[in-house]
Amino acid sequence: MDLKLKGKTALVTGASQGLGKAIAVSLAAEGVQVAITARRADLLKLAADEIQAMGYLRPVIIVADLYPENASEAIAAQALKLLGHIDILANSAGGSRPLPLDGPKEAWLEGMTLNFWRLRELTHALLPSMIERKFGRVINLTGTREPRNLNAAHAAKAAVHVWSKGLSKVVAKDGVTVNCLQPGKLRSEQIDKRMPTEEARREWAKKEVPMERVGEPEELADLAVFLASPRASYISGNVIAVDGAARFFAF
Ligand SMILES: NC(=O)c1ccc[n+]([C@@H]2O[C@H](COP(=O)([O-])OP(=O)(O)OC[C@H]3O[C@@H](n4cnc5c(N)ncnc54)[C@H](OP(=O)(O)O)[C@@H]3O)[C@@H](O)[C@H]2O)c1
């Protein structure tokens, strides 16, 4: 299938490793000129080198920390300056933030800032140019809707689901789609830190995942690339789980 992505441009956050990097590789493989952003310049350079060595367009690099106020607006401005326009935004930067019952206000604020506020601000900074060009794709990586504990990221990801749903209605007539991908457990730095060996991952997955394995980043990236393509023009406002059938609830 020709995904009709050749010549499009994309900004991928959290692209220094894990799911963001996999999305960047898969977009580049379809002929997309990608801008990759995260804090670690060495890993971003490595990712750009790898993508170029595969024979794809070398991504441009934006080294940036999302925490400072106005970070999102600065990243958006730099991406627009480097690539002229952005057709596709993949928001992958984020992370789990488990908190105890008496978790301090600052910790909740930090988790919400990275996982919701900056993502929303970055998207809103790029939307005007997408609307003007009558084409845009926003893909947000979120997380579980079945929390078993307290975690600021759970609350933030739920906010992303609801905000995305509303936004998808507002920009629908402008050729912009907004979807969320909900990873179960897929290999990345944060997962490998918690389960460093293949044996540990298999043991965990046997109990928690009907497919009895942790997913590979490419298994999510392929769907992200399809959603990013003009082929997915009638799919918007959705939350799609990529979790080896791990979710319990039908709706
Ligand atoms: N992997 C999973 O199974 C899973 C499960 C549920 C949800 N998710 C969600 O899916 C997304 C990607 O997951 P992942 O596993 O690849 O995440 P990860 O291994 O934790 O990586 C997070 C990415 O975000 C970047 N990042 C973190 N803080 C940042 C900051 N302050 N400024 C700029 N960039 C920052 C990191 O790059 P630098 O450190 O270089 O800045 C890194 O590339 C995240 O939103 C995560 O919450 C993943």
Which domains are assigned to the chain? 9-242 (3.40.50.720)
The C-alpha atoms of residue 171 and residue 127 are separated, in whole angstroms, by 9
**DSSP 3-state percent helix, strand, coil across the chain (nearest 5):** 50, 15, 35
- Asked whether residue 202 carries a pLDDT value surpassing 90, the answer given is yes
Q: Which atom of ligand 1 is nearest to the CA of 65?
A: 32
Residue 45 binned pLDDT confidence (cut-offs 50, 70, 90): very high
- Asked whether residue 47 carries a pLDDT value surpassing 90, the answer given is yes
The 10s digit of each residue's pLDDT in 110-144 is 999 999 999 999 999 999 999 999 999 999 999 98
- Other C-beta atoms closer than 10 Å to the C-beta of 238 total 16
Q: Which residues line ligand 1 (CB under 6 A)?
A: 14, 16-20, 38-40, 43, 65-67, 92-95, 114, 141, 143, 153, 183, 185-186, 188-191
- Asked whether residue 39 carries a pLDDT value surpassing 90, the answer given is yes
Q: Give the mutation target among 37, 65, 92 for probing the ligand 1 site: most ligand atoms within 8 A of CB.
A: 92
Q: Which residues of 185-214 are buried (b: 16+ CB within 10 A; e: fewer)?
A: bbbbeebeeebeeeeebeebbeeebeeeeb
The 10s digit of each residue's pLDDT in 207-235 is 999 999 999 999 999 999 999 999 999 99
Question: How deeply is 74 buried, as exposed, middle or buried, from its count of CB atoms within 10 A (0-12, 13-18, 19+)?
Answer: middle
Residue 82: its pLDDT value, please?
98
Collapsing DSSP states into helix, strand and coil, what is residue 38? strand
- Asked whether residue 180 carries a pLDDT value surpassing 90, the answer given is yes
Assessment of whether the complete model's pTM goes beyond 0.85: yes
Q: Which residues contact 173 (CB under 8 A, 6 or more apart)?
A: none
The 10s digit of each residue's pLDDT in 147-177 is 999 999 999 999 999 999 999 999 999 999 9
CA of 22 to the centre of ligand 1 (A): 12
Residue 145: its pLDDT value, please?
87
The 10s digit of each residue's pLDDT in 53-94 is 999 999 999 999 999 999 999 999 999 999 999 999 999 999
Residue 3 binned pLDDT confidence (cut-offs 50, 70, 90): very high
The first and second tokens of residue 79, run together, are: 């991406």
Residue 79: its pLDDT value, please?
98
Residue owning the nearest CA to atom 18 of ligand 1: 190
Residue 23: its pLDDT value, please?
98
Q: Give the mutation target among 11, 12, 13, 17 for probing the ligand 1 site: most ligand atoms within 8 A of CB.
A: 17
Collapsing DSSP states into helix, strand and coil, what is residue 91? strand
CA of 173 to the centre of ligand 1 (A): 31
